[in-house]
Amino acid sequence: MVFLTRKEEEVLKGDYGPANALAMKLLVALGEVFEAERLIKIKSAQVSGISYKNIGDIGLGFIEDLSRMGAKAKAHTTINPAGMDLKRWRELGIGEAFARKQLQIISAFDKMGIETSCTCTPYLTGNKPRRGEHVAWAESSAVVFVNSVLGAKTNREGGPLALASAITGLTPLYGYHLETERKPTHLIKVEMPLSGGLEYSALGYTVGKTSGKCVPFFVGLKKPTLEELKALGAGLAASGSVALAHIDKVTPEGRKISEKEKAHLDKFPIEESDIQETIQRLSTEDKFDLVCLGCPHCSLEELKKAAKLLSGKKVKKRLWLFTSEYVRKLATKLGYVKKIEKTGALVLNDTCMVVSPIEELGVNGVVVNSCKAAHYIPSTCGLPVKLKSFEESIREALI
């Protein structure tokens, strides 16, 4: 039985309105399933299940009902990518009916006081929890990043539960909120040097697939960049149910794992051939007419790199780079967006290649540099994919 304070009991009874009562009911039910002792306050929430393509009318109805019932976010809350760029959807060929429904979803979140930033990298746009803080995040790649790289604490929430946490400012105390659950379970010895988002993404995907729900401890990774860390998290989360990983001498908790602890872990070596096999297995087609980068959403550094690689050239195939509105604004100020778009490529925000209806935009095959995108595009868009590095993907768009 989850212990509730008097105030929490009152919320559950409905004394603070029906939206708060419903949100509290969801959290108490979740707490009971996982035998949480009590609820704890969160610093922030991040809600997934935003795209109309994914949630349809049922999801739209649920979010609008909560908004009509007077739900208001108590914690700083951001949301995942939507089904379209909220401003440039016409340019992409998104239909009016789809756009209307998508904008209704965004408007309902806005009325709840939720930041409608629509990104899977909120940690690059101001929703950046500190080490040890409890949060309730739903986007799986961001969950790995926030737990592992930032050292904050979250379970891998479902969209409606993250929304319930946003409304109440609470989450049940269980899972990765507890120190005991954050200990590494597997030691992953990386036997070769890795570089670039694609290789890190494939490493994560390989480990997630073979180890399932675990807390990997990576040994042998040399100073990964922020972009490589976000790619690793997305890979880990896409193929398995990993929510937390430690990296020797890199992540805050990874730096503290003792030799004695290491000695007790199951050990798994990862070789170059494992990485290449993952890339080959996820690449289903050689023909493509769209190149998409930004899964997870591009950082400023990635847009800078794209601007440099594209400088003075013209794209021959559609090239779309997905990012957050926040990063796009910074990149605009620095001149990167102008340089990229001058080539015919687009820098889009609020959405991505998986949650937007690209299958309805005359696309036959997609090049991506992310194992997460390669994992989901065939099932959610029904399109074949080819995996290439960031640099190779840009080159592919130019020929």
Q: What is the binding site for ligand F3S (CB under 6 A)?
A: 80-81, 120, 141, 234, 295-297, 322, 352, 354-355, 372-373, 376
Which residues neighbour 178 within 8 Å (Cβ) at sequence distance 6 or greater? none
State which residue, 55 or 352, has the beta carbon closest to ligand F3S. 352
Q: Which is nearer to ligand F3S, 172 or 294 (CB)?
A: 294
Rounded to 10 deg, the angle between the 52-68 and 18-33 helix axes is 120
Which of 143, 157, 148, 69 lies closest to 108 in space, CA to CA? 69
Q: How far is CA 178 from CA 137, 153, 155, 163, 248, in A?
A: 16, 8, 10, 21, 21
Asked if residue 329 lies in contact with residue 126, where contact means CB atoms within 8 angstroms, the answer is: no
Instruction: Compute the C-alpha angle 48/54/59, nearest 5°.
Output: 75
Read off the tokens for 252: 């805050």
The CB-of-80 to ligand F3S minimum distance in angstroms stands at 6
When the beta carbons of 199 and 248 are compared against ligand F3S, the nearer one is: 199
Nearest distance from C-beta of residue 353 to ligand F3S, angstroms: 7
Nearer to ligand F3S, 184 or 197 (CB): 197
DSSP state for residue 345 in the 8-state scheme: -
Work out how close the CB of 158 gets to ligand F3S at its nearest, in angstroms, rounded to a whole number: 15
Both structure tokens of 398: 């130019």
Shortest Cβ distance from residue 204 to ligand F3S (Å)?
A: 12
Residue owning tokens 């790649």: 141
User: Residue 327 in contact with residue 303, Cβ under 8 Å?
Assistant: yes
Smallest gap from residue 259 Cβ to ligand F3S (A): 35
The CB-of-292 to ligand F3S minimum distance in angstroms stands at 9
Q: Chain centroid to CA 161: how far?
A: 16
Q: How far apart are CA 160 and CA 59, in angstroms?
A: 9
List the strands of the sheet with 290-298, edge to edge: 346-349, 318-323, 290-298, 366-368, 385-387
Nearest approach in angstroms of CB 232 to ligand F3S is 12
> Given the complex with ligand F3S, which of 336 and 376 has the nearer CB atom?
376
| Least distance from ligand F3S to the Cβ atom of residue 373, Å | 6
Q: Which is nearer to ligand F3S, 114 or 219 (CB)?
A: 114
Q: Could you give the 3-state DSSP secondary structure of residue 366?
A: strand
Encoding tokens for residue 370? 């992310």
Nearer to ligand F3S, 14 or 158 (CB): 158
Nearest to ligand F3S of 229, 352 (CB atom): 352
